[in-house]
Chain A
Amino acid sequence: MIADGTPLKVSLAATAASLVLVLVVFELIRSRRLRERYALLWLLTGIVLVVLSAWRGGLNTIAGWLGVRGYPPAVLFAVGLLFVILVLLHYSTVISRLSDQNVILAQRLALLETKLDERADRR
């Protein structure tokens, strides 16, 4: 079967949805509810999806490269999923670092308290 190309409606809907994602991320950064370093992946996700959704010829070509026959928008799902996995992985690294730092803070706090107590006892 020959690739049919991306239907216009699908392209419009996907573009609109991706644009909303980009706008929401942008607003979150603007209102300082999302730090830039964590937002970078989300922005990248949104922008890549906007480009692929709006540029039908590009999506059809990429689908052709990847051997996706019949329904090029499937590539959108694949790309979206890939980015979601990347974002999740990124979060896991962030959480790991936070919990390591949390341990160090707890240890420092406990040692400081002990030092204070022992000093108070000596007086």
Chain B
Amino acid sequence: MSADALRRIAIVPAYNEEHNIGRVVDELRAFDAGLHVVVVSDGSADRTAQVAAAHGAHVVRLPFNLGIGGAVQTGFRYAFENGYELVVRCDGDGQHDPSELPAVLAPVLAGEADIAVGSRFVEGAGYRSSPTRRIGIRLLAWIVSAIARQRVTDTTSGFQALNRKALELFASDYPHDYPEVEGMVMTIKHRLRLREVPVSMREREHGRSSITALRSIYYMAKVLVALFVGLFRRRVVPAEDV
């Protein structure tokens, strides 16, 4: 299937990214003129929303900070309600390179996957990070692989492509705290087909990532609890929409 026939949108969650967001929107639109871009400003205190709008994105402004899961789900809802059939999700800090989009989109367009995830750790991706962080990422990948009975390598990647089927699931039901990790488990429990593709990611140019050393330990502990408890749920995430 060709992408040109589909109504397609990029969802970009952004929290105080006024320095990065303009370039992200420009690059996405330059990559594919038919690709709409919706920026979800997650309670940003800076000019993220104005900058995104000035660069031609649709903008959804959350009244206060919901965290990454709540922000991304807002984007999914926007896409679902407006009838989009193909969705890509990438971060607002510019670390996802739109030139990698064809690789991420390929399995979904070929009908081989409902959701494709750009992984930094599949062979050929070439990514360096601190050793502690790498151990954490390995551990999570190992656990999720065991639960999912499918090998995954990058459980924290927000560089994803989804078809309408996956979009429908995530628009109605999306984990809030650790959306990427739990979302992977959820995807597989709902019998959607998930595929990882190697991508390279860039370092962010402005500002700092929200993850620090102490926080990542806290993050790991909470993710492990969430995953463990999730094993005992019939539906992976509580239905919140009635």
Contacts and interface: CB of A to CB of B under 8 A. Distances in A.
A28 interface: no
Q: Which of A104, A107, A114 has the most CB of B within 10 A?
A: A107
Interface in B139-164: none
Contacts of B62: 106-107, 110
B63 interface: yes
B238 interface: yes
Contacts of A100: 176, 238, 240
A104 B66 CA distance: 10
Interface residues of B, number: 19
Nearest to B78: A111
Q: What is the predominant secondary structure among interface residues of chain B facing chain A?
A: mixed
B81 A109 contact: no
- Residue with the highest number of chain B CB atoms closer than 10 Å, among A104, A110, A113: A110
B240 A111 contact: no
B137 interface: no
Contacts of B78: 111, 114
A27 to B, nearest CB: 35
A110 to B, nearest CB: 5
Contacts of B238: 100
A113 B61 contact: yes
A107 B240 contact: no
B176 A110 contact: no
Query: Which 7 residue pairs across A and B have the least CB separation, nearest first?
Result: A107-B74, A114-B60, A110-B62, A110-B60, A103-B70, A100-B240, A106-B63
26 contacts: A100-B176, A100-B238, A100-B240, A103-B70, A103-B176, A104-B240, A106-B63, A106-B64, A106-B66, A106-B70, A107-B62, A107-B66, A107-B70, A107-B77, A109-B63, A110-B40, A110-B60, A110-B62, A110-B63, A111-B60, A111-B74, A111-B77, A111-B81, A114-B59, A114-B60, A118-B58
